[in-house]
Amino acid sequence: MNIGIIGTGCYVPSRIIENSDFTAHEFFNADGSRIPQTNTVIIEKFKSITGIGERRYAKDHQNTSDLAFFAAESAITNAKIDKEELDYIIFAHNFGDVSFGKSQADTVPTLATRVKHHLEIKNPKCVAYDILFGCPGWIEGVIQAKAFIKSGMAKKCLVIGAETLSRVVDRNDRDSMIYSDGAGAAIIADTDDGGSILAHNSATYANGEANYLFFGASYSKSSQKDTNYIKMYGRKIYEFALTKVPQAMKDCLDSTDISIQEVKKIFIHQANEKMDEAIVKRFYKLYALEMPADIMPMSIEKLGNSSVATIPTLLDLVKRGKLENQRIKTGDVIIFASVGAGMNVNAIVYRY
């Protein structure tokens, strides 16, 4: 049985937010003290570390489930299937629908149910549910879809990763510049013509690492809002990722009969350009090899970090030839890998 991706889709919001749009913000440290550097210096340093020059935000009337619907519709069309054939809709997100200007997350009904409603799927046997797994949520959704199909419980699953992080960021926290909005989706199915999931690996580290990403108050002490925002201990995440992700990738690859020389592309969560490069370099170092050129497609410079949406969006862009010098062809071995809140780590080895 070959269980693989038979269609992909993504939705990249049209609203572009450039780094220069943050020059009027007031940035504070976690203790509430003002960051002494000018915003120009802060932004230049941010760009040099993360690689992000701009990011995309959803339009004011759009929510996470709206972006997901557009990506899902595209994936269904790309797969050339009848939407009524879907057995599961698995929706990975972290914050639900947060309407523009509001601070409360809306998760009832589930976002997966909302997408099913928007798609006008009438089949009640199409089960729709959400998963919260941090940034690795879409990969984990694909792993769950494979399990459903392998067990005989399903034949076709829609797996979505979508987020509107622009609604949950603290404008007084320089880390807010990292985050963006977007959606990506894929159809997973038992297929003789498509690719195949060869191996997967997942782990949760919660003995001291659970709160590396968390919800916290604004860094501005003058803020009167009783609102929490996405926060992170960046250095701890960086050190954790460099230790755990390369080994998770290696363990996953070593569980197959595939050599590292056969790996053509690595689709890694678009979190931070320098961190991603360091992760992949360390992965190859575990095999006493140098990282090959063009092994790691990147979208973060233009799209920022849209959490669960980054990998399925990146995959769809590469499949459709929308990233320069990045192509995948039938038979290529690729690796998906992600790290995020939990702290969760996962990887998939896939033959395209």
CB atoms < 10 A from the CB of 315, how many? Answer: 24
Q: Are residues 27 and 160 in the same domain?
A: yes
Q: Are residues 335 and 267 in the same domain?
A: yes
pLDDT band at residue 224, thresholds of 50, 70 and 90? low
Enter the tokens of residue 175: 């880390």
| End residue of a domain, out of 194, 210, 234 | 194
pLDDT band at residue 221, thresholds of 50, 70 and 90? confident
Nearest of 7, 324, 333, 332 to residue 160 by alpha carbon: 7
> Taking the alpha carbons of 168, 173, 179, 180 in that order, is the dihedral positive or negative?
positive
Least trusted range by pLDDT, from 142-156, 176-190, 217-231, 257-271 = 217-231
Q: Are residues 180 and 39 in the same domain?
A: yes
Residue 308 CA: distances (Å) to CA of 92, 123, 183, 332? 7, 27, 8, 24
| End residue of a domain, out of 152, 169, 194 | 194
Q: Are residues 159 and 207 in the same domain?
A: no
Q: Are residues 179 and 222 in the same domain?
A: no
DSSP 3-state assignment of 346? strand
Instruction: Tell how strand 54-57 and strand 15-18 pair up.
Output: antiparallel
Q: What is the DSSP-derived secondary structure letter of residue 108?
A: S
Residue 112 contacts residue 128 (beta carbons within 8 Å):
yes
Q: Are residues 275 and 210 in the same domain?
A: yes
CATH of the domain at 226: 3.40.47.10
Q: Are residues 183 and 210 in the same domain?
A: no
Average pLDDT on 110-114 reads 98
| End residue of a domain, out of 141, 167, 194 | 194
Q: What gap in Å lies between CA 49 and CA 11, rounded to an integer?
A: 26
- pLDDT tens digit sequence for 249-303: 999 999 999 999 999 999 999 999 999 999 999 999 999 999 999 999 999 999 9
Q: Are residues 293 and 229 in the same domain?
A: yes
Note the pLDDT of residue 325.
Answer: 86
Q: Are residues 306 and 320 in the same domain?
A: yes
Give start and end residues of each alpha helix (H) in 110-226. 111-119, 137-151
Q: What gap in Å lies between CA 266 and CA 329, rounded to an integer?
A: 14
Q: Are residues 178 and 136 in the same domain?
A: yes
pLDDT band at residue 98, thresholds of 50, 70 and 90? very high
User: What is the domain range of residue 337?
Assistant: 198-351
Q: Are residues 156 and 284 in the same domain?
A: no
Q: How many domains does the chain have?
A: 2
Q: Is the pLDDT of residue 139 over 90?
A: yes
- pLDDT tens digit sequence for 161-208: 999 999 999 999 999 999 999 999 999 999 877 689 999 999 999 999
- pLDDT tens digit sequence for 49-65: 999 999 999 999 999 99
Helix (H), strand (E) at residue 139: helix 137-151
